[in-house]
Amino acid sequence: MKVTEVMTEIGGVAIASGGTAMNDDAILVTEDVRKIYRSGADSIVALEGLDLVVPQGQFVAVMGPSGSGKTTLLNCLSGLDEIDAGRVLVDGLSIHELSDKERTKHRARDMGFIFQAFNLIPVFTATENVELPLLLAGVRVTDARLRARETLERVGLGHRLDRRPMELSGGEQQRVAVARALAGKPRIVWADEPTGNLDSEMAVSVIDLLGELHDEGLTIILVTHDPAVAAHADRLITVRDGRLVEDKLLAGPDAREVREEVTVA
């Protein structure tokens, strides 16, 4: 089923908040994206015929079995990886047609990334970990320090600024990683199983934080195995064998039944 059909089925509200009717407001548009992994004589079609329109400010959860293409989808749509066919437009910019340098710049300016592994630098403090990408992006040292501190305070770690990752809990480390993703004031955040390494209490704190950021207008594309995590999103897309097989709106009054169905699934 096409996105538009699903949206129409769910109702008028759905179109206003999630359908292709609002292309002008879309932050992300994909057109017939294909990704093939080749090794020797073997090739795996990891994404096929992927069409997606994400309006500015939407929180999208991506689910699907292991190996279905979720990470590939995130990496290809964010421009971390190349694609074999189709187009990906972020803010109207066809990201795979940019030069490496332009794409890196676009990523540093407009995107934040959160992964399952926190990927923090062990010898750096929380502040230094958050500062690093800012410095690499050319932000002045004093501004980078200030912004790193403000962002750590924003994620509730104002009392942990000088701690190294080893001296922090898993949930706190992931909050540092969230702060690192946010410090550059991105317009879109990509998260690949960000709660996968956290116990449920810590997972809740990270998801609540993402929810707050979404309330402030951030667009979030989040891959998860966990239906309880996905239930925080506005929209749930399901991939299987590299194809988008389901697309449901979870936000808005018409979506309550869908949300309940997801939560108990």
Which residues of the shown chain bind ligand ADP in the complex (CB under 6 A)?
A: 37, 39, 44, 46, 64, 66-72
Measured from the CB atom, the residue of 44 and 117 that comes closer to ligand ADP is 44
68 binds Mg ion, rule: CB under 5 A: no
The beta strand positions in the chain, using DSSP E, are 26-39, 42-55, 59-63, 85-90, 93-94, 111-114, 188-192, 219-223, 235-240, 243-249
In the complex, minimum distance from the CB of residue 258 to ligand ADP, in angstroms, rounded to a whole number: 22
Measured from the CB atom, the residue of 72 and 174 that comes closer to ligand ADP is 72
The two tokens of residue 127 are 């502040």
Give the separation between CA 165 and CA 262, rounded to whole angstroms: 34
Classify residue 117 by its DSSP letter: S
Give the separation between CA 260 and CA 125, rounded to whole angstroms: 41
Among 30, 58, 68, 71, binds Mg ion (CB under 5 A): 71
Number of residues that bind Mg ion (CB under 5 A): 2
Among ligand ADP, Mg ion, none, the one that 219 touches (CB under a kind-dependent 5 to 8 A) is none
Measured from the CB atom, the residue of 44 and 141 that comes closer to ligand ADP is 44
Measured from the CB atom, the residue of 62 and 181 that comes closer to Mg ion is 62
In the complex, minimum distance from the CB of residue 66 to ligand ADP, in angstroms, rounded to a whole number: 5
Stretch of 34-42, 66-74, 158-166, 183-191 contacting Mg ion, by CB under 5 A: 66-74
Place of tokens 């299987």: 240
CB-based contact 252:17 (threshold 8 Å): yes
End-to-end alpha carbon distance in the chain: 21
Measured from the CB atom, the residue of 131 and 193 that comes closer to Mg ion is 193
Give the separation between CA 164 and CA 123, rounded to whole angstroms: 7
In the complex, minimum distance from the CB of residue 202 to ligand ADP, in angstroms, rounded to a whole number: 22
44's CB contacts (< 8 A; 6+ apart) are 36, 37
Give the separation between CA 72 and CA 67, rounded to whole angstroms: 9
Binding map of Mg ion across residues 95-134, x = CB under 5 A, - = no contact: ----------------------------------------
In the complex, minimum distance from the CB of residue 66 to Mg ion, in angstroms, rounded to a whole number: 7
List residues binding Mg ion (CB under 5 A): 70-71
